[in-house]
Structure 1
Amino acid sequence: MSKPGQQVISRLRQMILSGELESGQRLAEIPTSEQLGVSRTPVRIAFRALEQEGLLTKLAGRGYSVRQVTQDEISGSIEVRGVLEGLAARQAAENSLSTSQSKELIELLKQGDELFENGSINEQDLTKYHDMNRRFHQIIIEASNNPAIAEALSRNEHLPFASVSALAFDRTNLKQEYRRFNFAHMQHHAVFDAINNGQSSRAEAIMREHANATLGYAKIFSQMEDSNDKMQVIQSR
């Protein structure tokens, strides 16, 4: 998928997640493309992708509407992904990585290190992270040698925010987003270390926790920043 297309999908996800696009709100290509400052083509692609993810509903006429999504639904779908990917990591550790799988994972980790070394992240960086992240997870699933895991994950991906590719990016809080995605990347290092050393239980636990990183840690870091802001106010008095 093109970079503009991926960025539009990410931006619309975030707008739905934040409530900027409300449940039941009608969306059409032209006004959405004008709002986002892009052509109609990436918007059309984004609408179709978000319909597949369970975030939009195609209307009988033209356009789409924002589907009502509950926090329980999001949490449930992410938990299922965590269980499935945790099992994949466990079995990958038990099977041992092939030489080619190990080399590619190491290269992906290096790419991630370079992405985060400047201490900041932007929307263009997210496109790079998206591709790197998707391939990292794919290799682990392949290394499990269990086709049933890939099949189950494919079905689960039609639920809101269940796909490993369903990344949302808040452009209004770049500091938070850097922390969130950098933390997720550090978990990539940890799960690779566990798999590479045959630590199956550790690999499974890290991968299950990792499934919550793209959404759950945004709230944690927001709370941390709020606490820090309050502390600074108290100290300045």
Structure 2
Amino acid sequence: MKRDRIELPSDADGAPRQAPLYALITDVLRTAIVSGSIEPGAVLLEGPLAELLHATRTPVRQALRDLEREGLVSRFDGRGFLAGPAGAEPKRVVLNAAMLGTAAAEPVRKTLGWEGIYDAVERDVVHLSVFDRYRLNELELARHFGVGRMVARDVLLRLESLGLTEKDERLRWIVTPLDAQRINHLYELRWLVEPAALRAAMAAHPSRDVQPMIASLRRAMRQYPEVDRTGLDQLEHDLHVDFLSKCPNPELLQCLQRTRCILTLSKHVLGEAAPMPKRDPFLSEHLAVFNAVAQGDAPGAADLLRAHLEASCRKVIARAAAVRDSVALPDLPYAVVSP
């Protein structure tokens, strides 16, 4: 069955805005689960779903998170999610396009050009950021990945929104270094602003919203260190991105956007370029914050969050130093050290 494109309200010029890819994937999976095409207990894995839907893992991951919050999928003691509520017996079902209501060769939406190379460029730029100040050549970036220059520019603009790139006085793209001083400055901003955003989010949403996040943390703590980097990144986002996004003050959230490079650094180096800690890196601290949220203790949750961020600052500075000490200096054709 061919799916119609989902459209959002029009832009100022009257052109319809296309729904983001993760929203379309969420819709496809929701329909399949509610209709019974995907049976309860079926194991849903990012990789196979991404391949089946002709998408990357990132929008599939976001879709599964959203469905978890809706109660349509659940976690279990294994990789991936189960279709339906918790407690079902896991079933290793081979999914196919018919179950999802899509044509076998039809992507849920044509992947935008920048989406195809974004993860690779983000990883490269994060590793460059811990070494030095680099200049990025937009044209060479496009040639390296075999894409158009506009695609390369879209990627760099998205990295700019995370605080990983910026334009210098000559309008050249620069990798913003993540040295100890900048990491400390970013964390100072975070421990001033995030507790305020947390309080506002708590006032705007019921405490029961955090129960799936608490369950995820407890499960990860039982499994640690057998938790992959993707799982850890998702748990970081549960608190610092997803829950805080419930804050109704857009100015606070905009202020925090440029600190996301800290989460991106950990996403790409923890357990790879930097060793996985013997003790969990943040799980128990996140759990303490969410438990306070669940109890409606806003002052306690804010204090615990600030203490967590102060401790994390020291850990991330050490993590970046470990990368510089143990990983070869990146050699990329589109990056040169900036004077």
Q: Same fold (TM over 0.5)?
A: yes
Q: Can you give the 5+ residue segments of structure 2 that lack an aligned partner in the other structure?
A: 1-21, 23-55, 59-116, 323-339
Q: Can you give the 5+ residue segments of structure 1 that lack an aligned partner in the other structure?
A: 225-237
Match of residue 192, structure 2, among 64, 72, 83: 83
Residue of structure 2 equivalent to 1:6: 119
Within 2, Cα distance between the matches of 1:102 and 1:45?
34
Instruction: Look up the SS of the partner of 1:119 in the other structure.
Output: coil
> Does structure 1 conserve the Cα–Cα contact (< 8 Å) formed by 2:199 and 2:298?
yes
Once the two structures are TM-superposed, the CA of residue 102 in structure 1 deviates from its matched residue by 3.0
> Does structure 2 conserve the Cα–Cα contact (< 8 Å) formed by 1:130 and 1:165?
no
CA deviations on 1:106-149 (whole Å, 9 max, x unpaired) are 344356x18x8252555xx33x4434432433454356xx523x
Residue of structure 2 equivalent to 1:203: 301
Are 2:136 and 1:26 aligned?
Answer: yes
Instruction: Look up the SS of the partner of 1:25 in the other structure.
Output: strand
CA deviations on 1:36-74 (whole Å, 9 max, x unpaired) are xx6658865542222223432347999723346664443
Instruction: Look up the SS of the partner of 2:185 in the other structure.
Output: helix
Residue of structure 1 equivalent to 2:335: none
Residue of structure 2 equivalent to 1:98: 206
Within 2, Cα distance between the matches of 1:221 and 1:58?
27
Are 2:266 and 1:163 aligned?
Answer: no
Instruction: Look up the SS of the partner of 1:147 in the other structure.
Output: coil
Larger proportion of helix: 1
- Give the residue type in structure 2 aligned to 1:147: P
Within 2, Cα distance between the matches of 1:32 and 1:129?
31
CA deviations on 1:70-95 (whole Å, 9 max, x unpaired) are 644432232122222212334556x4
Deviates more, 1:70-79 or 1:186-195: 70-79
> Does structure 2 conserve the Cα–Cα contact (< 8 Å) formed by 1:96 and 1:196?
no
| Pairwise CA RMSD | 4.3
Residue of structure 1 equivalent to 2:240: 137
**Using a 3 Å threshold, how does the CA distance of structure 1 residues 13 and 201 change in structure 2: closer, same or farther?**
same
> Does structure 2 conserve the Cα–Cα contact (< 8 Å) formed by 1:55 and 1:67?
yes
**Using a 3 Å threshold, how does the CA distance of structure 1 residues 69 and 223 change in structure 2: closer, same or farther?**
closer
Within 1, Cα distance between the matches of 2:171 and 2:180?
28
Residue of structure 2 equivalent to 1:229: none
Residue of structure 2 equivalent to 1:147: 248
Within 1, Cα distance between the matches of 2:261 and 2:176?
20
Instruction: Look up the SS of the partner of 1:101 in the other structure.
Output: helix
- Give the residue type in structure 2 aligned to 1:136: L
Deviates more, 1:3-12 or 1:202-211: 3-12
Instruction: Look up the SS of the partner of 1:65 in the other structure.
Output: strand
**Using a 3 Å threshold, how does the CA distance of structure 1 residues 139 and 121 change in structure 2: closer, same or farther?**
closer
Once the two structures are TM-superposed, the CA of residue 13 in structure 1 deviates from its matched residue by 1.4
**Using a 3 Å threshold, how does the CA distance of structure 1 residues 49 and 182 change in structure 2: closer, same or farther?**
farther
Match of residue 53, structure 1, among 143, 162, 165: 162
Within 2, Cα distance between the matches of 1:32 and 1:121?
34
**Using a 3 Å threshold, how does the CA distance of structure 1 residues 27 and 209 change in structure 2: closer, same or farther?**
farther
**Using a 3 Å threshold, how does the CA distance of structure 1 residues 172 and 130 change in structure 2: closer, same or farther?**
closer
- Give the residue type in structure 2 aligned to 1:185: L
Instruction: Look up the SS of the partner of 2:260 in the other structure.
Output: coil
Aligned length: 206
Within 2, Cα distance between the matches of 1:86 and 1:166?
17
Instruction: Look up the SS of the partner of 2:264 in the other structure.
Output: coil
The alignment-based identity, stated in percent, is 15
Larger proportion of strand: 2
Deviates more, 1:184-193 or 1:213-222: 213-222
Within 2, Cα distance between the matches of 1:218 and 1:45?
28
